[in-house]
Amino acid sequence: MHTVLNHPLVSHRVTLMRDHETPPKLFRELVNEITTFLAYEALKDIRVKQIDVETPVAKTKGLKVDEPRIILVPILRAGMGMLDAMLHVLPYAKVGVLGMQRNEETAEPVPYYAKVPPAKDGEELALVIDPMLATGGSACDAVMQLKKLGYKRIKFLSLISAPEGIAKFEREHPDVPVYTSARDERLNSHFYIVPGLGDAGDRIFGTL
């Protein structure tokens, strides 16, 4: 299952983010803003509990988030560009990281680093973040690593997704929902998303 954000405020920011003339500072700001919208959508079903609260006027009931164990898992390096926004929304979350490098000839992911605490009882909520869901290789591998660590509640958040990547992900992990701000046309012969926005990592970190 995948959800594409369909909102003018999101589309406006995606358009600015695609523009090749958008400088790194603005690009990072747009990534943060869009990530916040993605977080709001992905966390609509977050667990809550009812509590008593007293306002300056009266006593009432309110809802409080009841997810004490949330872990954010950016895929290095581009996923780090989404981390600040996620921590702004979930300041109490833990952070694990998965390092993967794409083989430019085969487009297959090559894992090179993993620092994620194992799940204790499967009740933890893991949010995997990576700006681009292109072939789906890195996303699928990341989720598989989390499942091997005992995580059962997993969601994947991306800025731009290709239909090929979404299809592969849904075949391999039909139980993990995907949230994205744009579903693009296709992959080109170099496995880049079209129209896409180029290399998200290079644009975030200014290493063009």
Q: What is the CATH number of the domain that holds 162?
A: 3.40.50.2020
Residues with a catalytic annotation lie at 102, 106, 199, 202
Q: What was the pLDDT predicted at 104?
A: 67
Q: Lowest-confidence range among 78-87, 178-187, 199-208? A: 199-208
Q: What was the pLDDT predicted at 68?
A: 82
For residue 80, the SS3 value is helix
Give mean pLDDT, residues 186-207: 89
pTM (2 d.p.): 0.91
93 phi-psi bin (left φ>0, alpha ψ -120 to 50, beta other): beta
Strand-strand pairing, 48-54 and 186-187: unpaired
Band (93; pLDDT cuts 50, 70, 90): very high
Number of domains in the chain: 1
The strand pairing partners of 62, in sequence order, are 51
Give 117-180 as a DSSP string: PPPSSS--EEEEE-SEESSSHHHHHHHHHHHHTT--EEEEEEEEE-HHHHHHHHHH-TTS-EEE
Q: What was the pLDDT predicted at 11?
A: 96
Whether pLDDT at 114 is above 90: no
Band (107; pLDDT cuts 50, 70, 90): low
Question: What is residue 91's DSSP assignment?
Answer: T
Give mean pLDDT, residues 115-120: 91
Whether pLDDT at 18 is above 90: yes
Q: Which domain holds residue 85?
A: 2-205
